[in-house]
Amino acid sequence: MFIAVEGIDGSGKSTTIAELEKFLVARGYTVHRTAEPTKLDTGRAIRELLGLKSERPYTRHELALLFAADRLRHLEEEVEPMLAAGKTVLTDRYLFSSLAYQSADLPYEWVRELNRFARLPDVVVYIGVGVDTALSRIARFRQNAEIFETRGFLEKLTATYERVLAEYADRVTVARLNGEVAMDGIAADIEKRLSGIFPKS
By the criterion CB under 6 A, which residues form the site for ligand ADP? Answer: 7, 9-15, 137, 141, 181-183, 186
Phi, psi of 63 (to 5 degrees): -65, -40
Under the binding rule (CB under 6 A), the answer on residue 74 touching ligand TYD is: no
Under the binding rule (CB under 6 A), the answer on residue 58 touching ligand TYD is: no
Under the binding rule (CB under 6 A), the answer on residue 42 touching ligand TYD is: no
| Site for ligand TYD, residues 5 to 34, rule: CB under 6 A | 9, 13-14
Interface residue with ligand TYD, options 4, 20, 37, 177 (CB under 6 A)? 37
Binding partner of 74, given ligand ADP, ligand TYD, none, CB within 5-8 angstroms per partner class:
none
Under the binding rule (CB under 6 A), the answer on residue 156 touching ligand TYD is: no
Binding partner of 12, given ligand TYD, ligand ADP, none, CB within 5-8 angstroms per partner class:
ligand ADP
Q: How far is the CB of 178 from ligand TYD (least distance, A)?
A: 18
Three-state DSSP string of the chain: CEEEEECCCCCCHHHHHHHHHHHHHHCCCCEEEEECCCCCHHHHHHHHHHHCCCCCCCCHHHHHHHHHHHHHHHHHHHHHHHHHCCCEEEEECCHHHHHHHHHHCCCHHHHHHHCCCCCCCCEEEEEECCHHHHHHHHHHHCCCCCCCCCHHHHHHHHHHHHHHHHHCCCCCEEEEEECCCCHHHHHHHHHHHHCCCCCCC
Cβ atoms < 10 Å from Cβ of 190? 22
Cβ closer to ligand ADP: 12 or 37? 12
End-to-end CA distance of the chain: 12
Interface residue with ligand TYD, options 16, 88, 97, 158 (CB under 6 A)? 97
Measured distance CA(55)–CA(94) in Å, rounded? 27
Q: How far is the CB of 72 from ligand TYD (least distance, A)?
A: 12
Cβ closer to ligand ADP: 186 or 190? 186
Binding partner of 101, given ligand ADP, ligand TYD, none, CB within 5-8 angstroms per partner class:
ligand TYD
Binding footprint of ligand TYD on the chain (CB under 6 A)? 9, 13-14, 36-37, 50, 67, 92-93, 97-98, 101-102, 146, 148
